[in-house]
A and B are shown apart, each in its own frame.
Chain A
Amino acid sequence: MSGREAILAKVRASLAGGHDPARRAAVEERIGNAPKGVIPARGQLKAGAKTELFAAQAAKVSANVRRVASRDEVPLAVSEYLRAKNLPASVRIGADKRMSAMPWATQKALEVKHGPSDGHDLVGVSHAFGGIAETGTLVMTSGKDNPSTINFLPEHHIVVIDAKDVDGDMEAVLARVKRKFGKGEMPRTVNFITGPSRSGDIEQKIILGAHGPRALHIIIVGE
């Protein structure tokens, strides 16, 4: 008997439920309907207030938050961040169409490299799939547009997010992921990011900048 059959047989013997068709129906129904459960009131706000809460929650977990009115202002906001932090004028970006359409050429001194990170980039810029107001969380989906390595290898991670993509709760973002990729289908990696990396492993003292980015800078586009 294979390990698979042995484990399933043991589980069935312990549960003593056997092959009752009602059990199978209950499982199919649960996966099919994917009920939402308890949604905290905290994030259930109107559009503008939701963005405000997202920004406030992100700041609470030590992210920097900057708001700009339109996508055209993003390259300047990126340059200004680099200058403020005394960083070299060079960023790593994937192949996100929304970001390619931004006027990077206006930032003459800024070097823009494309593709996944190899670990030698100080600054990476990604575009978020969405945000969660309840917790100030960014939601990133993998792919050539926004390679996952950019989320983790650079010391500074700059994330652009459209205000309209901020949802109140995790379940609402997951519903959008489902709509984009298909029910039961997922991109290889979905990263939920809440603040810059940290560790409390030495004497339970929280220190920012563990293995992932030391700083997280969020640029919110629009109201």
Chain B
Amino acid sequence: MEITSPTFKQNARGALADTQLQKALGNVRSGFIDKRAKAVGDLPEFEQLRENGRAIKNHVLDHLDLYLEAYEKKVIEAGGKVHWCQTAADARGAILDICRMNNARVVTKGKSMITEEIGLNDFLEGQGIEPVETDLGEYIIQLRHEHPSHIIAPAVHLNKEQVEADFRRVHKDLPASRSLEEPEELLGEARNVLRSRYFQADVGITGANFLIAETGSSIIVTNEGNGDLTQILPKVHIVVASIEKIVPTLNDAAQILRLLARSATGQDMSVYTTVSTGPRRPTDVDGPEQYHVILLDNGRSAMLGTEFQEMLRCIRCGACMNHCPVYHSVGGHAYGWVYPGPMGAVLTPSLIGVDKGGHLPNASTFCGRCESVCPMKIPLPKMMRHWREREFERGLNPATQRYGLKFWAWFAKRPALYHAATAVAIPAMKLAAFGKDRFRWLPLAGGWTKHRDLPAPEARTFMQQWRDRDAVSKQRAAS
């Protein structure tokens, strides 16, 4: 897909002016936050589970080479095959080879962000193979030739009227007089249309929420059941997963599963949690005959051992974006690549380069809600700060900002001068506010005050007030 992260500011401006998008984004604010809070509140052990989830992933990342080897051994024992792919191109090539060997013409797909990351759909189409997205949200955006705007709710940027228009445009063989106003009717139509596609598919592709070293299994977590029909009906099941999806054992997965659905949708468990191990057994009467795992690195091994290693704990629940004021305002597409929101702001520069993704870590108010809701306790704001530092070091931000920051640093490192200047400026600003508590406009800062007010300062600086406090407490101690 085309990367538009470098034009984040323009993208954001467009998003803010898009009335359909702004209406749809209301569903993010109302649809996720309360449900998560309730589900988390109902489980007293949630904090302990967070700690344990974090410890499990940290342990895996520190021993990743060994877990990858152990995992592959078990996949082979169960009759499956692991395809190790360093890059997106390697992964596309491996998938194409499997499709070609099986003369595949139609490929059904369960929801997978990694296949978005490697640009699989466009690639397969170019090779004459039809990819069919089967998750309702993914199906809708495939009809629109769009990309997901959210990692668990891909069509969250749309309203039902838009979906209705798309279904009427594409499902031409259905009667034009049919009613499609309600979400139930839209879902029913997608269900019927997709039913036949599952049976036509030669290959089914799913992602994985976990890979289990103990058993060589892959796990997917879904609500619709499409990921299961995608993997049990065609003769070939391909799992596309990145290397950090490994956990040691099924018990470890059970721990993190308690965090995943609660953080994502506020469910205790998603409807379907499916553990798949190898192809069908000789006595089985259904299930795929082949089981392949595309194991993708694509830049992740280079994050290990750096200040971004902790990002590899991410379980893709989407809680960070569901609670992000920036995401609430601009939606996912403005971020310009596959992963939006706070997790995208950290991951995207790692995977496509800070030269292209450097704006994203700046798209944060540093309010810290993302870190406070992250089930894996990933310090997202801290990592965004690391990226800002790197962007500055490499001279990628605009000259005015760089000079401004340099001047500020020079000023802040001279406390005597700083205190003298603020001791004059603060009372002056207080006077200039004419008794109001905020400035609607400031000279030389019109660009800034156009979108927000500046609170008028108290009459004294923080340091002055601190000295007074200190003096009072010393007096008390003395008396």
**Are A197 and B215 closer than 8 Å at their CB atoms?**
no
**Are B48 and A38 closer than 8 Å at their CB atoms?**
yes
Residue B187 CB within 8 A of the other chain:
yes
**Are A188 and B250 closer than 8 Å at their CB atoms?**
no
Chain A residues lying within 8 Å of B301, measured Cβ to Cβ, are 7, 10-11, 14
What's the Cα separation between A209 and B24 when bound, in Å?
23
Of residues 201 through 260 on chain B, the ones whose CB sits less than 8 Å from some CB of chain A are: 213-215, 217, 223-226, 228-229, 232-233, 243, 248-252, 254-255, 257-258
What's the Cα separation between A26 and B95 when bound, in Å?
34
Residue of A nearest to B66 (CB): A27
Residue A186 CB within 8 A of the other chain:
yes
Residue of A nearest to B137 (CB): A201
Of residues 1 through 34 on chain B, the ones whose CB sits less than 8 Å from some CB of chain A are: 24, 27-28, 30-32
Residue B173 CB within 8 A of the other chain:
no
Residue A79 CB within 8 A of the other chain:
no
Residue B344 CB within 8 A of the other chain:
no
What's the Cα separation between A209 and B137 when bound, in Å?
15
**Are B24 and A152 closer than 8 Å at their CB atoms?**
no
In the complex, how many angstroms separate the beta carbon of A18 from the nearest chain B beta carbon?
10
In the complex, how many angstroms separate the beta carbon of B113 from the nearest chain A beta carbon?
15
Task: From known contacts A187-B281, A188-B278, A204-B27, infer whether A11 and B251 are also in contact, taking CB-CB under 8 Å.
Answer: no
Residue of B nearest to A27 (CB): B66
Most chain A beta-carbon contacts within 10 A, residue among B66, B301, B304: B66
Residue A135 CB within 8 A of the other chain:
yes
In the complex, how many angstroms separate the beta carbon of B95 from the nearest chain A beta carbon?
13
Residue of A nearest to B280 (CB): A188
Residue B292 CB within 8 A of the other chain:
no
Residue B433 CB within 8 A of the other chain:
no
In the complex, how many angstroms separate the beta carbon of B279 from the nearest chain A beta carbon?
7
What's the Cα separation between A213 and B453 when bound, in Å?
53
Binds A, one of B269-277, B328-336, B361-369, B390-398: B269-277
What's the Cα separation between A190 and B277 when bound, in Å?
9
Could you tell me how many residues of chain B have their Cβ less than 8 Å away from some Cβ of chain A?
106
Most chain A beta-carbon contacts within 10 A, residue among B24, B43, B44, B224: B224
In the complex, how many angstroms separate the beta carbon of A63 from the nearest chain B beta carbon?
10
**Are B248 and A31 closer than 8 Å at their CB atoms?**
yes
Contacting residue for B226 out of A7, A169, A210, CB 8 A: A210
Chain B residues lying within 8 Å of A24, measured Cβ to Cβ, are 66
Residue B286 CB within 8 A of the other chain:
yes
Binds A, one of B81-89, B98-106, B120-128: B81-89
**Are B52 and A188 closer than 8 Å at their CB atoms?**
no
Chain A residues lying within 8 Å of B56, measured Cβ to Cβ, are 37
**Are B283 and A201 closer than 8 Å at their CB atoms?**
no
Task: From known contacts A7-B84, A194-B270, A212-B271, infer whether A37 and B187 are also in contact, taking CB-CB under 8 Å.
Answer: no
Residue A105 CB within 8 A of the other chain:
no
21 A–B pairs (Cβ distance < 8 Å), ordered by A: A4-B82, A4-B84, A6-B84, A7-B84, A7-B243, A11-B64, A11-B301, A14-B303, A23-B62, A27-B63, A144-B283, A149-B232, A149-B286, A152-B225, A152-B232, A188-B280, A199-B136, A202-B158, A210-B223, A210-B225, A212-B224
The 3 A-B residue pairs with the shortest CB-CB distance in the complex, in nearest-first order: A212-B225, A204-B31, A210-B224
Q: Which residues of B contact A (CB under 8 A)?
A: 24, 27-28, 30-32, 43-45, 48-49, 52, 56, 59, 62-70, 72, 74, 78, 82-86, 90, 134-137, 140, 153-156, 158-160, 163, 183-184, 186-188, 191, 194-195, 198-199, 213-215, 217, 223-226, 228-229, 232-233, 243, 248-252, 254-255, 257-258, 265, 267-281, 283-287, 295, 297, 301-306
